[in-house]
Structure 1
């Protein structure tokens, strides 16, 4: 199993409604992509004070690397990814991604 962890530094130009719209659209990909098992998103409460620039994020759970690769190439994911880049401070630099392979 893989966890695709995405942390977002949204521009202040985008309000909560616009942010939720794109995050919900990413979650809506679950039934469309084989092996994409779940997407959860939320607000970063930053308990340790180590990530103040990344106010929100999401975690996607994949069956395996092939499913993550299919997600990466899926046209709806690509469109949503482009939208996230547009919405984040510094474009792609405002997005941090970790792909964790779980035992």
Structure 2
């Protein structure tokens, strides 16, 4: 059994990405909390890049999950897959414009 997982995603959005489209995907991901057991938190927003280390990634979100199994349930969820495809379409270089880290914190 794994500890709690922070799922961190950074997006290299295409310059012409409509804000409404991005907000729609973020709202959809947040709504998955009620459908995916162990999906604990969701937060999203612009990358302020105060340390000047990731200017190409304009936006990001983070989710926390009770454990690896909950993260896998999220990854396998059909709605998550549909929303993920929309994010891929919004990013420069498609899937290569998305950076992901899964951090075990407990």
The two structures have a TM-score, normalised by structure 2, of 0.94
CA RMSD of aligned residues (A): 0.7
Would you identify which runs of 4 or more consecutive aligned residues in structure 1 move more than 4 Å?
none
Aligned to 1:67: 70
Question: What is the CA-CA distance between 1:15 and the residue it aligns to?
Answer: 2.0
Q: 2:34 aligned to 28, 31, 36, which one?
A: 31
SS of the aligned residue for 2:8 comes to strand
- Equivalenced residues, count: 103
1:96 has 2:99 as partner: yes
Gaps of 5+ in 1: none
Aligned to 1:44: 47
The two structures have a TM-score, normalised by structure 1, of 0.96
